Copies of this chain bind each other. A is one copy, B any other.
Amino acid sequence: MDRETVLASLLRRLNTVSKLDPADISAIRSLPIAVRHWEGGRAIVSDGERPKDCCLIIEGFCVRSKTTVRGGRQILSIHIRGEIPDLQSLHLQTMDHDLITLVPSTLGFISHASLRALTHARPSVADALWRDTLIDAAMFREWIVNVGQRPAPARLAHVVMELRRRLAVTKRAEAAAIEFPLTQEQIGEALGITPVHANRIIKQLRQDGIVDVSKGQVQVLDETKLAKFAPFDDRYLHLDPSA
């Protein structure tokens, strides 16, 4: 994997979310990044561990999740390329959840040491990364609303809308279909429902002609119906650095 591509995916994300000046960008460009490939369905870091680096997703999909004592698993967020899903470990040394690949992925590891040196040398880069973790928190807030307030079918539709909006930034959301590499069991874990019920609502959304969730992707069947069924306001994603 060529270093220019790696940096491009990182910088695209940071640039859409914050304003970076040329000096910041060149400082980020000189960050050492160790590229590694990862199988699908494998933990990158697990609950209780103390990682020594942060993980940039160069290509692929990851989820973060927590497991309860009763064995239930809750998916907390879905991550796409360009994101650093465990940036929080920079200041929260011990993981309180798992980070897992959904599909075979290319990852870039950046040591805490080099990140800390960078943030201390350049407060404006610290601000950008800080902001990134705050957007993470904003997405968790919306996820709470999703699980707490919406009926199951609307929950699924909302997750689809969000992922679609985020993929659009990376220029990879084709008009009507997006990648969605979750099994029905994982969809259940994301929405706080059983896999059986996940299957029911997927069927229902398909029959109602709204979206078709299958084979690792989502086909939007009717844009208008979807927008009506799951009203989506992307403000919480804070994609505009000046707003």
Contacts and interface: CB of A to CB of B under 8 A. Distances in A.
A94 interface: yes
Interface string A124-138: 001100110111111
Contacts of A135: 92
A29 interface: no
Number of copies: 2
Interface of A: 48, 64, 66, 68-70, 72-74, 76, 88, 91-94, 96-97, 119-120, 123, 126-127, 130-131, 133-138, 140-145, 147-150, 191-192, 231, 235-236, 238, 243
B96 A66 contact: no
Contacts of A94: 235, 238, 243
Contact of A142 (B66, B133, B138, B192): B66
A114 to B, nearest CB: 15
A141 B91 contact: no
A130 B91 contact: yes
Nearest to A88: B134
